[in-house]
Structure formats: structure tokens, C-alpha cells
Amino acid sequence: MKRESYRALIHVLLTACLCTATVYMGFFDGIFTEVGYEYYAEVPVHSFPTFLAMPFNSVINLGYLLLGWYWLMKNKKFVGNDENMRQVRYLKDVFAGMALLYGPVQWVRIWTQTHHSAVLDQWFTLPIFAWPVVWCHYLKNGWQPWSFFCIECISLASYCLTLFHHFGFDIALACHILAAVWSATHLHRQYGDSVSATYIGLALMSCLGFVVLKIGDHWLAQWSVFKKLTGHFWSKICDIMQFHFAFLFFIHFSNPRKQIGEEKNI
């Protein structure tokens, strides 16, 4: 792996450690989280080990690991050593590192059903949705690390809404999704083509599926097709797919970044 890859993974890991320390210090002990098998439509198999008690909702988290590893290793398009290539590799590898981290965090929540694991699962979701905003900002305005740092800090701090309202996380997540969608669609409208239209369309469909299937988990279970492979399971499939299409969308723009810069200067 390139130096940018190691730096990206270290930055993701350090942020994760800071969040974990904050959670285990009890800062969010008073907030509401959904803990317990009753919040999932999948029926637990008590004869299985606890880390596989809900086998489908557990194993699907391997998808995040495979996705993260795939994009972390995908460097053929970034073989140059110029500054632009190093910057794009860093952005890509941070996003890949987030996927690599998110899979195990979700699995631990499914496995342990503890408040702290639920908080970390929720909290780590926010900077993942903030990263597309960072990448869009880079594509339009160039390398501004302090701006990226501020965007991610605001994203992490927004989880504090949970301290003030029962639906604080839902509000924060909705704002993150809207910000990511607005940033990507605005980028596409300015500089996009038929290829980026395909990627953003598939990403938006996956995002919609992620939200709707997760919310409708129990309601969908009344149909036999959703009894074992539940809405929550399929929402994770959609989440992995929106991750993947987001990668494709941004890589499509990142390769000809100089072209975007030239269009701005015309």
C-alpha cells in the first residue's frame, strides 16, 4: 500500500479510538438506543453462538469488509506520483477505511446488544455520510485539509443532538443524507455526464432502499419473502451498494480533476 493509504487508515483509526473513548467514558450513557432482539424482524437462533444469533444480519457485515478491502487495494487508476493522485488516493482510502471499520462495529452491535455498541454504530454512520461532502468540496475547490477537518468535526459533533432529543440521531442522519445528496447532485449538474448520471442514480436508489427497508423492517416481515432475509438485511445490501456507487461516482470525477479545474477557469 502507498503512504497515503497508511495515513488514511491511521486517521480513521485515531478518530474511531477517540469516539470509542468518549462513549466508554459515559458521555452518551443517558441517550436512547434500540438495544435488544425485539428491534429486529429476524428471529434469533438461540442454538447458534451469540455472535451469530441473528445469522443473516450478522454475516452481511462481511460485505462492508469486502467492499472496503476491494477499494483500498484498487490503485491501478492511481499509479502516478503527482500531488493530485496522492490526494485522490487519500480520499479513496479514508472512505475505504470507514467501510472496513463499520462492518465490525455493526457486527459487535448485533452480537452484544449493548448500549455502547449501539452508540458507536450510530455515531460512526455520520462521518461516513459526511465524507461525500468532503470529496465534492475537493473536486470543486481543490485540496483544503482544514476544510475537510472542519466538515468531519461538525459531523461528529452533530451526534450531540441525541443528548437533547429522542430523535436526535435521526435528525442528524437525515441532515447528513440530504447534505451528501445535495453536494453530489450539484457536482453532477455542473460537471457530470451520462456515466456520472448512472452512478448517482444507482446510488440514490440504493440510499432510498437503505432508508425504507430499515424503517419497514418489522412491517415487511408479514410477507414470507422478508421473514428470514428481513428488511434490515436488505437495507444493509443497499447500504453496501450505495457505498460502492459513491466510490464509482467520485472516482469518475477524480481522474479528470484537472479538467474540472479548467472548466471553472474558463
> Could you report the per-residue pLDDT of 4-41, keeping only the tens digit for each?
788 999 999 999 999 999 999 999 999 999 999 999 99
Packing angle of the helix pair 115-141, 168-191 (nearest 10 deg): 20
Number of domains the chain is built from: 1
Give a yes or no: residue 161 inside a domain: yes
What H or E segment, with its residue span, contains residue 128? helix 115-141
The amino acid occupying position 239 is D
DSSP letters of 50-101?
Answer: GGGSSHHHHHTTHHHHHHHHHHHH--GGG---SHHHHHHHHHHHHHHHHHHH
Q: Tell me whether residue 266 is in a domain.
A: no
Residue 248 covered by a domain: yes
Q: pLDDT at position 262, please? A: 46
Q: How many CB atoms lie within 10 A of CB 56?
A: 16
Residue 185's domain is classified under what CATH number? 1.20.1070
Residue 197, domain member (yes or no): yes
Which residue range(s) make up the domain with 76?
A: 3-257
Considering the domain boundaries, does residue 71 fall inside one? Answer: yes
Tell me whether residue 262 is in a domain: no
To the nearest whole number, what is the mean pLDDT of the chain? Answer: 91
pLDDT tens per residue across span 152-186: 999 999 999 999 999 999 999 999 999 999 999 99
In a domain, 109, yes or no: yes
pLDDT of 51 higher than 50: yes
Dump pLDDT digits (tens) for 58-106.
Answer: 999 999 999 999 999 987 666 555 788 889 999 999 999 999 999 999 9
Q: Does residue 265 form part of some domain? A: no
